[in-house]
Amino acid sequence: MEVTRREFIKLAGLASAGAVVTASSGALLTGCSPLVGMEDESLNDTNMGMITIPSRCEEGCTGCIDACNKMHNVPKHDNKDHEIKWIWETEFPHAFTEYMENEILKERMEHVPFLVMCNHCSNPACVRVCPTQATFRRKDGMVLMDYHRCIGCRFCVAACPYGARSFNFKDPKKGLEDPVPNPNFPTRTKGVVEKCNFCSERDIHGSELPYCVEACANKKGGVEASALIFGDLDNPEFKERIEKIQKDEKLIPLRRKEIAGTQPKVYYLV
Amino acid sequence: MIEKALKGSKKYWLWLGFCATLFGVGAGFYIDQLFNGLQITGMSRDVSWGFYLANFTFFVGVAASGVMLVLPYYLHDQKEFGKITILGEFLAVVACAMCITFVTIDLGRPDRLVNLFLHPTFNSILFFDIVVLSGYLLINIIVGWSILDAEHKGEKPRRFVKPLIYLSIPWAASIHTVTAFIYAGLAAKPFWLTAVMAPRFLATAFAAGPALLIIICLILRKYTDFDPGKIAIKKLSTIVTYAAIAGFFFLLCEFFTAFYSGGAEHTATWKYLLFGEGGSGLQPYMWGVLISTVIAIVLLVNPKTRYRDDTLVIACVLLFVSIWIDKGLLLVIPGFIPNPLHEFNQYFPTLKEAIITFGVWGLGFMVLTVLYKIAISVKMEVGDQDIEH
Amino acid sequence: MYDTSKIVIGIIVFLAVFTIPFWYSQVSGDADEMPEIVIAPEAGDQCVEDVDYMRAKHMDLLNTWRNDVVRGADREYESDAYPGVIYDKSLTDTCLGQCHTNKSEFCDQCHTYVNVEPGCWECHNIVGE
């Protein structure tokens, strides 16, 4: 078969066009969403995450949830459909739906409260789908929201495998007292999505802890006894601390919906 | 040409008035939504997409189906479609415009819509969808209008039109594919996580769109002096038949994977839809769709009923409505049921939500009527003379 | 076909309606007087930047602050006009909390006059007032 120069150029053109399409769709398919760098570059290597130990939770205690709701002006609406939830309590089979049919585990976990929240995933589906980068992943491993930019399309709500995102169906001020519980933290407007922010407004890389962790530690009389532990998952000291708890209390770390491929960063030691 | 839309019969103006009223009432309730937020809809924390996006998804299909006339006419030289290709192109224009409207009214903060372009995000399918939809809208306006204008003036269409027509063909497939990818790309929603989503979307679209065109053609023939041509309708009905069968086949494929594999999460939603496990709100619709699709296919496959106008209309209406319900209520909504924590929360559109939705329909049909009035007036003026493209 | 006179009248009517904002207040005598900016006694001698800059660009500055804080956790602002002075990038704490404690006189008056409604206070609270 002879190939004329004209045909060759045509073929080459087609091939390179194909390569461009493949490359761009490759970028699309891997869903590579850009990371947002920190002003303090030393923090770019951190990887903030949460360890929860459900067995340490006391039944009926809502200290962590109350602290979060108060400090973040999370509204309380009467209509369950319009609820806003940052951190809340559920039962084992709902937190870990893949073990829904596992009667042995279900029985053992029957009265253990499980705290669920945004998992600040390493491979977050919400960030991948957001059309405006209103939700983004910072280099310190926090998945955050820019409420100024959110257009309220709720694509992220659909994409989140944890149901961690809430949409403001109505003016949040309707569900808050006046003045708001914490005037130093902004409220949101109707029409935007919101979620747990691992207390990014606090000095969580330094001397402060997220409000939920702080509340739990205060109640339990110290961070060592707390049901919630927060820190840099890549930090060797932190790792050692968690490993020690695992060993001492004979616990294994579980993450919710591993199958979704999001690499969640909230661990449950059970 | 536009002046042709200003002269019409009483029926024409009454119909336009009806559409305008629908639109007006819908717009009124939309203002309510702007002030009070999306709480006026039936959507909730768990079912966070509803009737608006359902209609959006359906009309992307209608828009894409314009290609079912363009492709045979321009690529396979099916001259019979000469008179109605413009109807397909204008239907695509209107459907695209409706889609963009549906996305916009679904937003919590429509005032920030421009953020889509201020912060373009190439990893978001929604961003791509808006881009391809706007593009398709533009292509079809330009193509449809310039061809009609050329016919009106008795000239050849401008030279740029032909490449645009060829571009519009793959573009049509792309808009519905990208729309399917909005759903099919989410690991969080096992019900949507199926590779057959895009093919199924295209198949049902190519059934619903031409079905609507057949209905429109028959209405035009009855109420105006315009005759779309018997052969054109015959060929359209063949397209509808094949597409409907393909669409139904894909649905059966879904059933197979969901039930034979026994995978808990994928099956849960189908069990909810078919057997009412976890709530029976959508169950009657599911069965209604299944039954009416089968009836429509039986009527279409049999040549005797396919070539009779009355049975053809029944088949087309059944198909159009069942695909609308299927892509709307039965695809978008059950994706959220059960929720990620395996809790069952039901959804049904509220009256206000439905009124706003049909307001968009009113707007669509209004624009469509005006465009069709212009197109048909030109076609009647020019007569049957064949114009070389 | 070409009704020149009708077209001209049409254009005149259109222009008249289109330019309403420019002449309405003159004709009706409704034009408000320009408000005088009231600086609260709490405010010191200087703002984070000089007055002309702030007058022209305060919204740009706030937008930059917003993006820095929300997206990059960058809270410290070093003034261009007063090198070495560091401010916390906060509308509630720095702008309104420390200096312009009189939001209604300082911010709202002007915004009302030029008929703009910045959305800031839908979410950001005013501590004190």
pLDDT band for position B389 (50/70/90)? very low
- Partners of B108 on chain A (C-beta within 8 Å) are 150-154, 167-168, 190-193
Q: How many CA atoms lie within 13 A of B108 on its CB side?
A: 28
Q: Do C74 and A146 touch (CB under 8 A)?
A: no
Per-residue pLDDT at A76:
94
Mean pLDDT of B33-38: 94
Phi-psi region of A236 (alpha: psi -120 to 50; beta: other; left: phi over 0): alpha
Cβ contacts of C119 on chain A, cutoff 8 Å: 189
* In chain C, % of residues over pLDDT 90: 16
Interatomic CA distance for residues A240 and A236, integer angstroms? 6
Q: Give the DSSP letter of residue B160.
A: T
Using an 8 Å Cβ cutoff, are B117 and B382 in contact?
no
Among candidates A94, A125, A259 on the partner chain, residue whose Cβ is nearest the Cβ of B186? A125
**How does pLDDT run across B288-342, given as a tens digit for each residue?**
999 999 999 999 999 888 888 889 999 999 999 999 999 888 999 999 988 999 8
Q: Which two tokens stand for residue B335?
A: 């994706």
Task: Give the minimum alpha-carbon distance from A126 to chain C in angstroms, rounded to a whole number.
Answer: 16
Q: How far apart are CA B44 and CA B50, in angstroms?
A: 9
Q: Mean pLDDT throughout B73-100?
A: 88
- What is the C-alpha end-to-end distance of chain B, expressed in Å? 20
Chain C touching partners, 3 or more CB pairs below 8 A: A
Which has more confidence, B291 or B83?
B291
- Beta carbon pairs, A and C, within 8 Å: 48
Average pLDDT score over residue span B15-42: 95
Is pLDDT above 80 for B1?
A: no
Pair A34, A129: CB distance under 8 Å: no
Q: For residue C108, name the pLDDT band (cuts at 50, 70, 90).
A: confident
Q: What pLDDT digit, counting tens, does each position of B185-211 carry? A: 999 998 999 999 999 999 999 999 999
Pick the residue of A29, A126, A151 with the most B CBs within 10 A to test the interface with B by mutation.
A151
Q: What is the CATH number of domain A32-269?
A: 3.30.70.20
**What pLDDT score does B353 carry?**
95
| pLDDT tops 70 at residue A12 | no
**Nearest CB partner across the interface for C72, out of A39, A186, A189:** A39
Give the tokens for residue C100.
Answer: 């312009």
Q: Domain boundaries in chain B?
A: 2-382
User: How many angstroms separate the CA of residue C108 from the nearest CA in chain A?
Assistant: 19
B259-278 pLDDT, tens digit each: 888 776 778 889 999 998 88
Q: Is the CB of A147 inside 8 Å of chain C's CB atoms?
A: yes
From A37, A187, A189, residue closest to C72, measured CB to CB? A37
Distance from CA of B106 to the nearest CA of A (A): 7
Q: How far is CA B203 from CA B157, B241, B317, in A?
A: 31, 10, 17
Interface ipTM above 0.90: no
Chain B interface test: which of A129, A173, A192 (most B C-beta within 10 Å): A129
Reported as a single tens digit per residue, the pLDDT across B327-384 is 888 999 999 988 999 899 999 999 999 999 999 999 999 999 999 999 888 888 776 5
| Chain-chain contact of A157 with B48 (C-beta, under 8 angstroms) | yes
A249/chain C closest Cα distance in angstroms: 37
Residue B388: pLDDT above 60?
A: no
The whole-number pLDDT of residue A85 equals 96
Q: What's the mean pLDDT in B35-64? A: 94
Q: What is the pLDDT of residues B226-238, one digit of tens each?
A: 888 888 888 899 9
Contacts of C126 in chain A (CB under 8 A): 183
Higher pLDDT, B313 or C23: B313
In which band, very low, low, confident or very high, does the pLDDT at A110 lie, cut at 50, 70 and 90?
Answer: confident
Compare CB distances from C74 to A39, A144, A186 and report the shortest one's residue: A39
Nearest-angstrom CA–CA distance, A116 and A137: 19
Closest CA to C100 of C34, C36, C35, C44: C44
- One of 1.20.1630.10, 3.30.499.10, 3.30.420.10, 1.10.260.40 is the CATH number of B2-382, namely 1.20.1630.10
Q: Which residue type occupies B340?
A: P
User: Which of C67, C75, C123 is nearest residue A147 as measured by Cβ atoms?
Assistant: C123
The Cα of A171 is separated from the nearest Cα of chain C by a number of Å equal to 10
Query: What's the burial of C103, exposed, middle or buried (CB within 10 Å: 0-12/13-18/19+)?
Result: middle
Report which residue type is found at C18: F
* Cβ–Cβ below 8 Å for C73 and A39: yes
